């Protein structure tokens, strides 16, 4: 991921940051407490709380590492600052019309905030590239 820029809207960055802070400040410490309690209960080889807790802790740590790297590579782009409204660009909202005159409105957003069911598609997606 070195050298790659993660284009993201201000709202998308805030969502990444909120997830990171929740995992780091709330979920991880609570899980460490459970693991510590479970470890004190004796045999760890058959202790479900301990085994599951350690597995979940590794998942949280991987997610924290991922979020940290994505935020570090983030280049926040505010769609409102785009001057040319007649071009398709990062953050643009576009109305698509198919051959049956069915309309669908989509917004080009960063990879981390894409959600096709909500009308947010990645600026790197094939559909977005066809619009440019």
Structural domain that includes position 87: 79-131
Burial category of 12 from C-beta neighbours within 10 Å (exposed 0-12, middle 13-18, buried 19 and up): buried
- CA 13 – CA 3 distance, rounded (Å): 18
68 and 118 both lie in a single domain = no
Q: Cα–Cα distance between 132 and 115 in angstroms, integer?
A: 20
pLDDT of residue 1: 46
Helix axes 48-72, 28-39, angle to 10 degrees: 150
Cα gap 29→125, rounded to integer Å? 37
- Give the mean pLDDT of 59-68: 98
Are 82 and 93 in contact, with CB atoms under 8 Å apart? no
Please tell me whether residues 23 and 71 are part of one structural domain: yes
Tokens of 19: 């997830």
Q: Is the pLDDT of residue 2 over 70?
A: no
> Token digits for 6?
């993660």
What is the pTM for the complete model shown?
0.80
Predicted pLDDT at 70? 95
pLDDT of residue 132: 59
Structure tokens at 70: 């994505």
19 shares its domain with 54? yes
Lowest mean pLDDT among 4-13, 32-41, 79-88: 79-88
Express as a percent the part of the chain with pLDDT over 90: 48
Domain shared by 13 and 64, yes or no:
yes
1, part of any domain:
no
Rounded Cα distance between 31 and 54, Å, is 9
Query: Would you give the DSSP letter of residue 86?
Result: T
Number of domains in the chain: 2
């Amino acid at each position: 991921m070195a050298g790659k820029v993660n284009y993201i809207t201000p709202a998308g960055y805030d969502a990444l940051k909120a997830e990171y802070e929740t995992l780091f400040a709330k979920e991880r410490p609570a899980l460490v407490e459970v693991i510590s309690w479970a470890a004190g209960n004796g045999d760890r080889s058959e202790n479900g709380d301990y085994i599951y807790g350690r597995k979940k802790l590794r998942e949280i740590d991987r997610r924290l590492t991922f979020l940290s790297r994505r935020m570090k590579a983030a280049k926040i782009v505010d769609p409102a600052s785009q001057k040319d409204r007649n071009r398709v660009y990062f953050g643009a909202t576009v109305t698509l019309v198919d051959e049956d005159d069915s309309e669908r409105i989509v917004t080009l957003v960063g990879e981390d905030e894409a959600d096709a069911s909500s009308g947010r598609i990645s600026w790197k997606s094939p559909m977005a590239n066809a619009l440019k």
